[in-house]
Amino acid sequence: MDVRCIQCSTTLIHEAVGHSAGYRKTTEAMDARVYSGVGAIFGFFLVAGHDEFEKNRVS
């Protein structure tokens, strides 16, 4: 629903229809890259920490 001026009937506020398909596709791609990068770093440190734990463990 647009908001119009009572006197001259010009549109003052246009109804928002959301983001374009290109914007949504780009943000989904960027989100995927960020999440996979964070997951890779977390996984690396998890494995590296486990290896250090195994080296220092008393048998």
Dump the DSSP string for 27-48: HHHHHHHHHHHHHHHHHHHHHH
In single-letter form, the type of residue at position 54 comes to E
Averaged pLDDT, 15-34: 90
**In whole angstroms, what is the distance from residue 5 CA to residue 12 CA?**
7
Q: Which two tokens stand for residue 10?
A: 């010009």
10 pLDDT higher than 80: yes
pTM (whole model) above 0.85: no
pLDDT tens, 29-48? 999 999 999 999 999 999 88
Residue with tokens 């290109």: 22
DSSP state of 13: E
